[in-house]
Amino acid sequence: MKKIFYLLLISLVTLTTGCDDHFMSLQENPNSPDISAPINILQSIIKDSWEGPWTRAQRLNQYYVSTYVVYDDQNYLLGEYGMDYGSLRDILAMEKEVERLDTDEAKQFLPVAKFFKAFFYIRMTERLGDIPMSEAVKGEEGNFTPKYDTQKDVYTNCLKLLEEANDELALYAGKASALTNDLYFNGDLTKWRKAVNTFRVRVLLSLSKRNAEMNVAGQLREIVSNPGKYPLMESIRDNMQITYYGTADDQYTLYPDNGSKYASIYFIGETYVSQLRRTEDPRIFIQMVPGENQNKGVEGRERMFSSYVGGVTGNSVEALQQQGSDRMLAYINYSTYVTPTGLPCVQLGYQELQFSLAEAANLGWIDGDAETYYTNGIRADMEFYGVKAEGADAFLANPVNVYQGNNVSGLKQIREQKYVSLFQNSGYQAFFEQRRTGIPEFSVGEGNANGRIPLRWMYPTREKQYNEANLKAALQSQFNGSDDINDVMWLVK
């Protein structure tokens, strides 16, 4: 990601809900107040929010497998999630700086603060279940043992924050932006507003199993039917993403290695490859290279879909190592990924939005043509990878890819194409989509030490040490006292 961060003096803390500010006092000239402090803090918040490509998340999404047993694995032992209260303290520090400055310019940071509050609380609750929210980050008020809010209440309050963020950003339409050089949108408040509403669509769809009690369909319909009030991303140029510039301090995740490391230990996952192979997807030629011994000696094998075979996530590391050594598995395309710039890493994108709207239309929750949304999503992702329009046309004309209608088959197509569009993007989003929908079918085998795909992370040990009574109460109400990666949270029941 962009590495040019402003100097911040950070006070590290250990308690997830402690009282110390994440930031020590920032150097400033009291006779010359400016808005440098809020933008500095915002850059740190953005840094905390982004999730890069080729990480453990992408292995658990079954996009690739690793045979590097020292650090990498596909065993699905999720363990603890450390929680994001440090980032929420940073948001609080930014809000205090805005209050201190008390200018119209500085107040532009407040709706963005609300967006990130919702973002981090959602990130925690979708991994854990119930979390402290209403009493969290109140150490200065003497509350070091906050109660846990139910997951339903967390989602309700986060949706309210997003509604308020959208309304407040609308007040700055046409005005000069104070958010200069922010790492996502370079201060474009219109794009920030689109991101707020696009994220809200993601959150609402994640609640699809709770439609009746959360009025998911009604909220989605309100957003989609009122684009003036709720602008959404309109193309991939609105994507919330990190762009790598290829400079010495700003290079893509896999660079500067010459590629040999990745060719020998990182192989594309068969769950993903099989989807592209079955649909004859041209993105396969951009993202990967076939193993040298697949269709060996056959002329034009690099353009044959049958040449592409991935590593099965459920297989043992030893089996994957042998297949890799035999050069049978597809691996990373160096010219795409092992370069100084690589590809932008999307955190929240137009492609995903289109497939979300396609699903909502397929289910009859919103007006609009599901096929149009489905087609828009595919074309947008093809554009992201540089596939020419005629390539996208040919793909969409293939009978296997023609939208099957507002039925179960059409819904499966939409969800499969969303999975494809999330490749190496948006952190664990593909994992959460699969948890919600069951699509695609994830591989489970001896390489999965859990014996099945888990559903959540465990609470961190420090919560058990410092907030034991409230944590025990939350575990009892959710999981009959258990804290296990296979427990089923309210969100996906």
In a domain, 45, yes or no: yes
Helices of type H across 54-183 = 56-60, 85-101, 109-128, 151-170
Q: What is the largest CA-CA distance in the chain?
A: 74
How far apart CA 76 and CA 415 sit, in angstroms, is 22
Please tell me whether residues 207 and 332 are part of one structural domain.
no
| Domain shared by 172 and 143, yes or no | yes
**pLDDT at 23 (0 to 100):** 37
- 195, part of any domain: yes
Same structural domain for residues 75 and 189?
A: yes
| The pLDDT of residue 258 | 58
pLDDT of residue 4: 37
Does one domain contain both 144 and 275? no
What range does the domain containing 379 cover? 36-243+344-437
**CATH number assigned to the domain comprising residue 142:** 1.25.40.390
Contact 425, 54 (CB under 8 A): no
Q: At 149, is the secondary structure helix, strand, or coil?
A: strand
Please tell me whether residues 219 and 104 are part of one structural domain: yes
Instruction: Find all residues with CB under 8 Å of 478, minimum gap 6, and list them.
Output: 129, 130, 151, 487, 489, 490
User: Are 121 and 221 members of one domain?
Assistant: yes
Task: Tell me which amino acid residue 284 is.
Answer: I
The reported pLDDT for the residue numbered 180 is: 87
| Residue 79: both structure tokens together | 């363990």
pTM, two decimals, is 0.93
In a shared domain, residues 81 and 205: yes
Domain boundary among 337, 356, 377: 337
Amino acid at 141: E
Domain membership flag for residue 394: yes
Residue 136 domain flag: yes
Give the pLDDT score at 22: 39
Work out how many domains the chain is built from and give that number: 2
pLDDT at 424: 98
Co-location of 382 and 269 in the same domain = no
Burial class (CB in 10 A: 0-12, 13-18, 19+), 221: middle
List the Cα angle 328/331/336 in 5-degree steps.
150
Q: Which of 77, 51, 39, 5 is nearest to 484 (CA)?
A: 77
Residues 32 and 39: their CA atoms lie apart, in Å, by: 16
Q: Tell me whether residue 426 is in a domain.
A: yes
Q: Are residue 148 and residue 288 in the same domain, yes or no?
A: no
The verdict on residue 451 lying in a domain is no
- Among 337, 368, 393, give the residue marking a domain's end: 337
pLDDT value at residue 25: 36
Q: Are 240 and 185 in contact (CB under 8 A)?
A: yes
Handedness of CA 230, 235, 236, 238 (dihedral sign): negative
65 plus 108 within the same structural domain: yes
From edge to edge, which strands make up the β-sheet containing 64-66? Answer: 64-66, 266-268, 331-332, 288-289
Query: From start to end of 157-296, where are the E strands?
Result: 240-242, 266-268, 288-289
Let me know: does 160 contact 141? Beta carbons within 8 Å.
no
Domain identity same for 62 and 173: yes
- Compute the CA torsion angle 351, 356, 362, 368 (nearest 10 deg): -70
DSSP sequence for 253-272: TT-SS-SHHHHHHEEEBHHH
Among 337, 368, 402, give the residue marking a domain's end. Answer: 337
* β-sheet bridge partners, residue 346: 241
254 in a structural domain: no
One digit per residue, the tens of pLDDT, for the chain of length 493 reads: 444 333 333 333 333 344 333 333 333 444 444 556 899 999 999 999 999 999 999 999 999 999 987 777 899 999 999 999 999 999 999 999 999 999 999 999 999 999 999 999 999 999 999 999 999 999 889 999 999 999 999 999 999 999 999 999 999 988 999 998 899 999 999 999 999 999 999 999 999 999 999 999 999 999 999 999 999 999 999 999 999 999 988 999 999 765 667 878 999 999 999 999 999 999 999 999 999 999 999 999 999 999 999 999 999 999 999 999 999 999 999 999 999 999 999 999 999 999 999 999 999 999 999 999 999 999 999 999 999 999 999 999 999 999 999 999 999 999 999 999 999 999 999 999 999 999 999 999 999 999 999 999 999 999 999 999 999 999 999 999 999 999 999 999 9
Q: How many whole angstroms separate alpha carbon 263 and alpha carbon 258?
A: 10
Q: Is residue 481 part of a domain?
A: no
Same structural domain for residues 138 and 82? Answer: yes
